[in-house]
Amino acid sequence: MDDNAAKQDEFSFESDEETDMHSGSGNHAEASQNEETKADAMDEKEFMQSVRKHLRRLIAYAQSADVCLQQEAAELLANEAVQPARQRLIVQHGGLELLLPLTESTDNEVRRLAAHALANLSVDTENQITLAREGGIEMVLSLLRSRAETNATLRQAAKALANLAVNPENKTLIAEKGGIPPLVRAFRESEEAVQVEAAAALANLAVDDNNERVIGATNIFSNLISALSSPNDDLAQQAGRALRNLSVDPANKAIMRGAGAEDALLDAIDIITCDVLRAQCERVLANLQHHK
């Protein structure tokens, strides 16, 4: 593989909070943040003691038919998983046992919160391995495959897959477990917020050469090329990264050329103002023209 055809490094989403935190301004805000960080570090031991102490209660909440109790457990897990220092500890101390019944809840909001928790927990590299080993991929895919889920739930599920797919072995596992078709469907049929994460997940999966061919066979190229002109910068850039990683395989190149991708990319390059996105499109074009 020559330098022009090199695929781009994987993308991982940062964790985000379920509720916005109030922040001050100026130097006072900076000082408060530093103090809070120190306090959090000192409280990690206390936090995990609390998790161990209350784990059985939280699992009972998660397994309960009471939606309010389920939501309490799911929201707690999603918000605590925002903090990097706690992501690994939550998984190590039974957090996944909480999540399985929550992803199977009859309530849409509980399932969304569970997907959010999985997205946050999957940022951690060790968690990516543990989640895959203990059923996390299946949890996420069950949400992503459902026609009943809201766009908010699909967005978090796709984000979790994007993070899990950073791990090389998970790329293969996600594909083997049927993860590519629901991601393609999510990109084609869902709103932009979902498409961003679906494109990122497909781009990460396509770093694997076999996955690149499987994704290419879905003929998603026209959808990705259309997204390059989206006013949503995140969507356009993730679509560009996906196209870059999908334009290395010879069969994919032939499909893209046959669909008029070269002319479409040239047109896109003429109007794109983002330097990063323009560079992605130029790399895709170079891939298509290499050994033509």
Going from the C-alpha of 213 to that of each of 53, 210, 249, the distances in angstroms are 48, 5, 7
Round to whole Å and give the CA distance between 29 and 25. Answer: 5
pLDDT for 73 equals 82
At residue 169, the pLDDT reads 97
User: Closest by alpha carbon to 160, among 204, 190, 192, 110?
Assistant: 204
Q: What pLDDT was estimated at residue 92? A: 85
CB contact at 8 A, 118 and 74: no
* Token pair for 82: 């925002």
Spatial separation of the C-alpha atoms in residues 15 and 26, rounded to whole Å: 25
Q: Please, where are the H alpha helices in the chain?
A: 26-63, 67-80, 84-92, 95-103, 108-121, 125-133, 136-145, 151-164, 168-176, 180-189, 192-205, 209-216, 221-227, 233-246, 250-258, 261-271, 275-289
- Reading the block at residue 188, the tokens are 């084609």
**CATH number, domain 45-205, options 1.20.58.760, 3.30.1330.10, 1.25.10.10, 1.10.3720.10:** 1.25.10.10
The pLDDT, as a whole number, for residue 74 is 83
DSSP 83: S
pLDDT by residue (tens digit) across 203-253?
999 999 999 999 999 999 999 999 999 999 999 999 999 999 999 999 999
Residues of the chain with confidence (pLDDT) below 70? 1-63, 291-292
- Among residues 244, 261, 256, 168, the alpha carbon closest in space to that of 217 is found at 256
Structure tokens at 12: 């991982």
